[in-house]
Amino acid sequence: MTAPLRASDPIVVNVGLGSRAYDIVIGRGLLGSLGKRIAALRPGAAALIVTDGNVARHHLKATQEGLRAANIRTSEIIVAPGEQAKSWRIFESLCEGILAARMERSDLIIALGGGVVGDLAGFAAAVSRRGLDYVQVPTTLLAQVDSSVGGKTAINSSQGKNLIGAFHQPVLVVADTALLDTLPAREFRAGYAEVVKYGLLGDAAFFAWLESNWRELFAGGPAREHAIAVSCRAKAAIVARDERETGDRALLNLGHTFGHAFEAACGFSDRLLHGEAIGLGMALAFEFSARRGLLPKAEAERVMAHLAAVGLPTHVKAIAGGVPALDMLMNLIAQDKKVKRGRLTFILARGIGSAFIARDVDAAEVESFLAEKLGR
């Protein structure tokens, strides 16, 4: 594992997609440079900022000032915070707002917020005027290491999470780690689940580094920038190989099949945040892998011990408000985006750092496993 870079050095990770390649710029205090970066990238473009009420209180004014200092005409749309914003109603309102603001094909949408804002604004950009460019300015740890990178945009359906959307790559991602200072501790922990994911799916050395350095990452400083950069490099490499998830990009869904089902069963509410659901999902994926004899039980226990140490849920009975019904969970799993011709697909592991795509998993085996975990 390489040593963390100095916090003062902005880190640039390129997502290599040919003519649609873009940079992820990572560092502390980068929000002030956003206007200059956009002006250099799209001279003369106007910008419409999409954000939520919580983020607006902390960061909207500084974002507007930075853009205006670079002579960029700005407007903004503020949506309600939370997963409920990824709905048809809010999506329609946002698209109408973009058109009412007279945004042209040469202008930009700026997604200033966490994963919800990024997914919602990115999807609206993908379809408004048949496609507007957009810039991701992620304000949560989860968004900085995962949802802002790779071009997946979506809203939720009553049938499940992220089932309505499009692949639409941003033209720039600016990950200012100083913005994470205003995150509630629970939100930061939830985002950390997506950092751990990169170690578990393909980098055992990174997972070991996180076991030793997670406290410094939570506190801020060089370890934070380093972990975000490692995560972004891992995702960028996978996205460059498999942009539209026809192959190994599915590995990025480690923990998501179980996690999305629990998240949806909890009504996309504060009962279980997205990152908490993914942490729980990864614990279950490693337990399920151990049950299938794919890895020693001690490996699964090591994963669960680390997730628990940072405060993430590892047992279904930790879910606030009681555990969901088994039949509901199985119906949601059957709607997972990785299902092909009715066959379940899971991301399982042969060890820490050795995830793989398991196709045609027996639904009865999954149901039996979940029934055991739910105490049914």
Residues designated as active site: 130, 152, 194, 235, 245, 249, 253, 256, 260, 274
User: CB atoms < 10 A from the CB of 282, how many?
Assistant: 29
Give the angle subtended at the CA of 172 by the CAs of 170 and 173, to the nearest 5°.
95
59-78: b (≥16 Cβ within 10 Å) or e: bbeebbebbeeeebebbbbb
Residues 6+ away with beta carbon under 8 Å from 256: 278, 281, 347
**Cα separation of 144 and 135, whole Å?**
13
* Nearest in space to 187 (alpha carbons), one of 83, 99, 298, 75: 83
Helix/strand/coil (H/E/C) assignment for every residue in 29-44? CCHHHHHHHHHHHCCC
CA-CA-CA-CA dihedral for 131, 137, 142, 148, to nearest 10: 30
User: Rg for the chain (alpha carbons), in Å?
Assistant: 20
Which runs of consecutive H residues, i.e. helices, occur in 242-349?
256-265, 274-291, 297-309, 326-334
Q: At what angle do helices 88-100 and 115-127 cross, to 10 degrees?
A: 60
Residues 6+ away with beta carbon under 8 Å from 276: 189, 190, 193, 312, 313
**Cα separation of 108 and 372, whole Å?**
49
**Concatenated DSSP letters of 113-169:** ESHHHHHHHHHHHHHGGG--EEEEEE-SHHIIIIITSS-EEEEEETTEEEEEEEE--
In a 13 Å sphere around the CA of 148, the CA atoms on its Cβ side amount to: 35
